[in-house]
Structure 1
Amino acid sequence: MRKLFFLILIHPVILLYSQTENVNIQWNREDIHHFFPNALYEDGENTLPYFTRKIAWTPEGMLPVVSLKVTKTTEIATSILHGIDQSHLKKSPLLEYSLAREAGKSFVLVKVLPFIRQADGKVLQVDDFELLLEQEAALAPLKSAKAGSWMDHSLLASGSWFKVSVEESGIHKLSYEQLQEMGLSNPASVSIYGSGATSLPEQFSHGYIDDLEAIPLYIHKGADGIFGPGDHILFYAQGPVHWEKDEESGMYLHQLHSYSWKGHYFVTDGKGEASGPEDAVLSTDVPTHTVAAYDFLDFHEDESYNLIHSGRVWYGDVFSVNLTEEYPFYIQGRVEGEPVKIHVVAAARSGVSSTFSIGANNEQLGTISISGTNLSHYTSTYAYESSEQFSYLTDFNEVYVRVTYNRPDANSQGWLNSISLNGRSELTLSGSQLAFRDSRSAGPGNISQFQVNEANSEIIIWEVSDPQHPQNIAYVLEGEIANFTLETNVHREFIAFR
């Protein structure tokens, strides 16, 4: 049995609403079990120690935000780590914190895994780091809300409303005939309210919409200018899949709505005719970037198994009898020479550390290491989850991601959580609609000219960075290319459709 031990020296700076803890770790490596303050070993032997700290939190009614800054590291010899599970190590120390109360006082409970695993596989011990505690916002904003700042009742309390559901984000269509079939007495005055499958923030202190909000509509009225038979409305709706840029890995990672497979909107004719999208503010400056390709995004995630019949995390394929599964992806308009990035999340329940092997087409990409757990103790973690990112160069638009669980014994079992895939595709409107974004053109001071191919004067382009308030893009058509230029100091999202 091998463990790493350290002593903690803390120099606190006591402030009311901003608090810094300077941590110096005096490392002491020994081969025998030894207990010491502020060190925590989770789930048995052959694990790495956590630094723990209970810090008094004086701003009552305020949420803490804890951040960590590493100031000194030292490389650890491979021999010292032999036999110790390293599967949880990432590019930065793992930081967890929570707010607790004890004897009527508030405390921030901080837990840090003071190790870093570099891209080359080397492991660094964190010798010195800073913990910065800051207040976020009031824990109970409702108590301090001024009278009249919240709706007295929902918009749905009066009038005639009809619910429509969407399964994916994009442009959706309702015809005049469909509106009539719903029972609208005046389809020409149609309006739609809702936010689709947008998840409410988990933190109460974060802002959220109090009631349903109207969304802009594109109303096609035909040559006579009157909304009637044969006409339709178009609107941008949000489905249950959301993409976020992970700054550490550089990938877009998908997130499923935890509680719904669909987004819902509410249609009425009692609020007057809806307005269309406002025009986006374009730039007349000289572009710093020309965008003729975009970030292709796709994913695989099945929600079939909840391992402990509790909580919101669900898994897909089980790796028990069949230990290998293959998942097909197709990259439309793939840009040659651009790597495909693959992010895989998997879990395993095993008495020892185990691995998943990840491949693409006929090439082996790498492995995912997952910690073992105590199978005989009911209080132990049921299964551990881990993830890795892989890069792959291919000459094919088809990518078959292969996942194999290297089961160490018959009592071990694995599960796939998800696969996120990023590639690069040509910015071409080959179908009825195309959602696109370009991470490479985003940055301070950047001005980007976007060039959408296979366009004509009939296409429409909206910016949907704020999906509740899409904006119309007044592009310039040159042949079959729709050009528009705007500031891209932040990530911006668009959708082109016809």
Structure 2
Amino acid sequence: MYIIGNNIKKIFLGIMLLSIVLAAAQTNDGRRYTSQSVLATGKWIKISVDHSGIYSLSYEDIKAMGIEPQNVRIYGYGGGLLSEDFSTPYIDDLPEVPIDMQKGADGIFNEGDHILFYAQANIIWRYNSEKGTFSHIRNHYSDLGYYFVTSKSGSAKQIPTMPEESGTVVSTITSFNDYLLQESEIKNEAQGGRVFYGEKFSRQTPSHSFNIYIPNIENVEAKMFVDMANKTIYKNNIEVNINGVKIKTIPLKKRPDNNYQVLEPTNDTVTFVPNSTNTFNITLTSTNPSLEAYLDYFEINFKRELSMTGNELYFRSVDYIGRNQLSKFVLSGVDADTEIWDITDRNNIEKVNTTLSGRQLSFVANTNELRQFVAISTRKTFPKPNIVGVVDNQNLHSLPEADMIIVSHSDFLGEAYRLAEYHRAKEGISVNVADAEAIYNEFSSGTPDATAYRRFVKMFYDRSQTQGTTPPKWLLLLGDGIYDNRGIISGSDEYRKLLTYQAYNSVNKIHAYTSDDYFGYLDDNDIAMSPSASLDIGIGRLPVYTVQQAKAAIDKTIAYIDNKLHGEWKNRMLFIAD
């Protein structure tokens, strides 16, 4: 009896521990959301950037926006693709961006002065520790990154100088790991999925050449990752020529002979030692030009001398990751105005303590983990962001809990509010209506991203879990959508009212699907679009792309609920069987 009782205790404790683990894995913490967006008050100007890097706004630029230059602030986190994994860290609303005020000799920010800040566009790079290489992630919803400019009293978030590292320096770093990307977004053969292919290889264009200027390339092993697709049911080959030398022949897999597979992808790695110090002249040639193929992209990981070129130089080193040691970086070719910023955490950028000796700038850093740096010639000229326009005050974060959420394109907001008011009056349903653009502003830094819709709905779901209230039951998307979320294909703008979730597959018409189910996976531990996850809300879409269509759809919805049309149609049924 004692043994049995002890086992029962163990089983009971095991169940309790499992429950605690499951609860921890599915936190859905509603307290992570602010109750008031920063956009709720003040004047805001939306800006955009087309590449990641250092940007400048002059005193005069800021004043022309109607913003007080002395109290300028920048908010946002740019255009990187939002994580579809909700167990990863999440940035709520808009964080303040660190800025560097270049005030001049008088120490006052006035005419002739400017601010510098780092901005993230739509491509981010991730380091794979197993491969020791970097790969890119493109935001397939937007080609730009967005930020917001305002003014507030008090001190703006300046870029501070980090404390100087102390200890014994083990290694000296005079070269760094770099990477480049060649990717053209031209055509989606499956007319579905998130991948657009680029250069076409055919009888008319059997080869494509890419001449890329990169100074100070080191003659050490480099890796080129090539992603291509074969359109034919026959095998084909692509010859890779770099700087006049044939490096490799890539065999392309043949496409299966069926009506659904439109392309067959091939991924290959080309390893080579650069024979030039400042260029990659790359030619890709089809050995059978009568067979069509496409280039998706190629990336090259390589090493460069740590020598200043241009107005800004981005660098990092993976050589001593995991060794928990101090390393000394030595950057040559600098001037007296060169600064080093640590941009590893873009929301908390810091200046690095440096030592200048002649034209060499050195600093010490712990290289146990990957660190990202940028060297800046602060007196040089930097690009200005594009001014999008004034943003009206908004505060979606303050909306109350609701049974139904309507996400609408701005063209159809009138019809969305009409339907919402009908549900409130007729059925006692609480409804929140939100403009898709406003959702982007608060939930994806102003950058179009379908995950922003999901994050918006999840805010209400999480709050209900924390407060013990009823979660939202229905999500209505009011607006048509298309696989081309960025308007790459001519003529797609008419139908591109709301974003659509697209599968990763763009080579098979069955698997290159779109689905609004994606917006209904709201638990932290849900793996969206996987069999293991379950929907947490009912989802529907009215695929309208004109105001007339929206009005007709809402009229029909209301008429169906009112149920005033009685007739023989109610006794007719249609069965479809397989």
**Which amino acid in 2 is paired with 1:445?**
N
Quote the residue 2:270 is aligned against.
Answer: 389
Query: Aligned partners of 1:188, 1:274: CA distance in 2, in Å?
Result: 9
Matching of residue 329 in structure 1 with residue 208 in structure 2? no
Query: Aligned partners of 1:296, 1:287: CA distance in 2, in Å?
Result: 23
Compared CA separation, residues 488 and 324, structure 1 to 2 (3 A): same
Query: Aligned partners of 2:294, 2:235: CA distance in 1, in Å?
Result: 15
> CA-to-partner distance for each residue in 1:432-468, whole Å, 9 max, x for gaps?
1111111223332221101111234322211011112
More strand by share: 1
Quote the residue 2:45 is aligned against.
Answer: 162
Give yes or no for contact 1:218–1:233 (8 Å, CA) kept in 2.
yes
> CA-to-partner distance for each residue in 1:307-364, whole Å, 9 max, x for gaps?
21111111110112312111112221223x3233322111112213333221212211
Q: How many residues align?
A: 362
Percentage of matched positions with identical amino acids: 30
Matching of residue 402 in structure 1 with residue 283 in structure 2? yes
Query: Aligned partners of 2:63, 2:355: CA distance in 1, in Å?
Result: 37
Quote the residue 2:65 is aligned against.
Answer: 182
Quote the residue 2:246 is aligned against.
Answer: 364
Quote the residue 2:334 is aligned against.
Answer: 455
**Which amino acid in 2 is paired with 1:495?**
V
Quote the residue 2:451 is aligned against.
Answer: none
Give yes or no for contact 1:437–1:492 (8 Å, CA) kept in 2.
yes
Answer with 230-239 or 246-255: which moved more: 246-255
**Which amino acid in 2 is paired with 1:317?**
E
Q: 2:318 aligns with which of 439, 444, 461?
A: 439
Q: 1:278 aligns with which of 160, 165, 168?
A: 160
**Which amino acid in 2 is paired with 1:167?**
D
Quote the residue 2:457 is aligned against.
Answer: none
Give yes or no for contact 2:333–2:359 (8 Å, CA) kept in 1.
yes
Q: CA deviation at 1:61?
A: 13
* Higher RCO structure (Cα 8 Å, ≥6 apart): 2
Q: CA deviation at 1:232?
A: 0.6
Compared CA separation, residues 136 and 318, structure 1 to 2 (3 A): farther
Query: Aligned partners of 1:304, 1:191: CA distance in 2, in Å?
Result: 37
Quote the residue 2:559 is aligned against.
Answer: none
Compared CA separation, residues 431 and 245, structure 1 to 2 (3 A): same
Q: 2:259 aligns with which of 370, 378, 383?
A: 378
Give yes or no for contact 2:59–2:111 (8 Å, CA) kept in 1.
yes
Q: CA deviation at 1:424?
A: 2.1
The root-mean-square deviation of aligned C-alpha atoms, in Å, is 2.7
Q: CA deviation at 1:422?
A: 2.5
Compared CA separation, residues 403 and 220, structure 1 to 2 (3 A): same
> CA-to-partner distance for each residue in 1:214-253, whole Å, 9 max, x for gaps?
0111112222222110011111111222222234443222
Q: Helix, strand or coil: the match of 2:32?
A: coil
Q: CA deviation at 1:60?
A: 10
Q: CA deviation at 1:281?
A: 3.9
Q: TM-score, normalised by structure 2?
A: 0.59
More helix by share: 2
Matching of residue 173 in structure 1 with residue 56 in structure 2? yes
Query: Aligned partners of 2:302, 2:341: CA distance in 1, in Å?
Result: 23
Compared CA separation, residues 346 and 61, structure 1 to 2 (3 A): farther
Matching of residue 219 in structure 1 with residue 98 in structure 2? no
Matching of residue 484 in structure 1 with residue 363 in structure 2? yes
After the TM superposition, list the runs of 4 or more consecutive aligned residues in structure 1 that deviate by more than 6 angstroms: 59-63
**Which amino acid in 1 is paired with 2:292?**
Q
Compared CA separation, residues 153 and 341, structure 1 to 2 (3 A): same
Q: CA deviation at 1:392?
A: 2.9
Compared CA separation, residues 316 and 60, structure 1 to 2 (3 A): farther
Q: How does 1:94-173 map to 2 (within 5 A)?
A: 137-138=25-26, 141-142=27-28, 145-146=29-30, 148-173=31-56
Query: Aligned partners of 1:240, 1:470: CA distance in 2, in Å?
Result: 19
Compared CA separation, residues 470 and 239, structure 1 to 2 (3 A): same
**Which amino acid in 1 is paired with 2:269?**
E
> CA-to-partner distance for each residue in 1:254-294, whole Å, 9 max, x for gaps?
23222221111100013543121233343222222111111
Quote the residue 1:37 is aligned against.
Answer: none
Q: CA deviation at 1:381?
A: 6.2
Query: Aligned partners of 1:315, 1:153: CA distance in 2, in Å?
Result: 42
Q: Helix, strand or coil: the match of 2:62?
A: helix
